[in-house]
Amino acid sequence: MTDLVIRGECTISPMIIPVNNGLKSINFYLLRNEEGLTLIDAGLNTEECWSHLKLGLDKIDQSLEDINQILITHNHHDHVGLVNRVMTALPREIPVYAHQEAIPRLKRNKEFFSMRIDFFQQLYEEMGCGEAGEKQVKKLREAMATNEKHAIQADIIPLLPAGRIANLDVIETPGHSPDHVSFYDNKNKWLFVGDHVLEHISSNAMIEPTSDGKRRKSLIDYSESLKICAKVDADTLFTGHGELITTHREFIAARLQRLNQKAERFLSVIQQGVTTASELAQASYRHKYQSEFALVMSEIIGHLDYLEVAQKINKKKMNGVWHYITV
Ligand SMILES: [Zn+2]
């Protein structure tokens, strides 16, 4: 699985680092083509990822100094871990590219992160989360203190939507995160999808504010991005975790179907008289509501958005809390 992928002048050297959790592995890639050597994502900031990067370079007879640029699919820590280390090890600056929305997150911009806390405070109040929501907001506040040390030091150049970089088309694929992009090599039919499509698990469509504090409907974004991805003529999807994907259209069709089935399950709970997002979360994920609160609320709010857009439910605000009812 970690073999080189070679087609004509283009070579991919995959770094696949197994992990003992649901993600199966941390994947990132070196791409060598007419535009030089590009690092696509940068794994975790661990010795293991670092030595895999060195190995990946060895396999194509290249060294760190040969890397011309770094492309980031999205801001999550398991995709940008080695960026600072690579930049420090290089004798010269190389450009780092990411989506505009990734920049305040990667730079750990203080204003952005305090706005983000206010965003979640209001969201959880409006979703009727009470104490559980307050607990989560407290956690976010505490994380602010250690936030800065994870900042990407290099300047980050915003990718142009629908632009081209390193002979790759930039395709915006928001949903898993608002800044998510995929990179497409149309000649070789290679698609670097980050966490947008994973082989063994459904990607979470996490609720996040945009940099101007708005809430996008992340699950709607996600399903639209899946449809965009299905249209791409790709032989192989190079994923951020787990196996590569060679039959992406079937995969995506199955994902979309499952998404719809899950929404229908939530709808039946609402039909039984549950009205707030918090109640729906507790009815559907009793234990996880405590242990994985942010994830569960993203899941619930995402599917409520989905049902609302499908005109199967309406919402009404009462005493500051949204109540959902079937149409
Ligand atoms: Zn991710």
Q: Rounded to an integer, what distance in angstroms lies between the CA atom of residue 270 and that of residue 71?
A: 43
Ligand 1 centroid to residue 41 C-alpha, Å = 11
Percent of the chain with pLDDT over 90: 92
What span, in angstroms and rounded, lies between the C-alpha atoms of 166 and 311? 42
Question: Are the C-beta atoms of 241 and 196 separated by less than 8 Å?
Answer: no
∠ CA 205-206-207, nearest 5°, is 120
What does the alpha-carbon distance between residue 158 and residue 8 come to, in Å, rounded to a whole number? 30
- What's the ipTM? 0.96
Model confidence at 226, pLDDT cuts 50, 70, 90, reads: very high
Class in CATH terms, 5-107+152-246: alpha beta
pLDDT of 285 higher than 90:
yes
For residue 195, report the distance from its CA to the centre of ligand 1, in Å: 5
- State residue 199's pLDDT score: 86
CA 212 vs CA 102, 104, 140, 152: distances in Å: 13, 11, 19, 21
Predicted local distance difference test score (pLDDT) of residue 168: 98
- 127 C-alpha to center of ligand 1: Å? 24
- Position 124 pLDDT exceeds 60: yes
What's the pLDDT at 223? 97
**Span from the CA of 55 to the centroid of ligand 1 (angstroms):** 24
Tell me the CA–centroid distance for residue 126 and ligand 1, in Å.
26
Predicted pLDDT of residue 315: 97
Asked if residues 277 and 128 have their Cβ atoms less than 8 Å apart, the reply is yes
User: How far, in whole angstroms, is CA 238 from its chain's centroid?
Assistant: 14
User: 11: CA distance to ligand 1 center in Å?
Assistant: 25
Per domain, the residue ranges of the chain are 5-107+152-246, 110-146+256-326
Give me ligand 1 centre to Cα 176, in Å: 7
- The pLDDT, as a whole number, for residue 96 is 98
CA quadruple 230, 232, 236, 237: dihedral positive or negative? negative
Cβ neighbours of residue 34 closer than 8 Å, sequence gap 6 or more = 9, 167
Q: Are strands 67-71 and 36-40 parallel, antiparallel or unpaired?
A: parallel
* Residue-level pLDDT at 92: 93
In DSSP terms, which residues pair with 67 in a beta bridge?
Answer: 37
User: For residue 327, how far is its CA from the centre of ligand 1 (angstroms)?
Assistant: 34
CA distance 167 to 187: 9
For 56-65, write each residue's pLDDT tens digit.
999 999 999 9
Task: Measure 58 CA to ligand 1 centroid, in angstroms.
Answer: 27
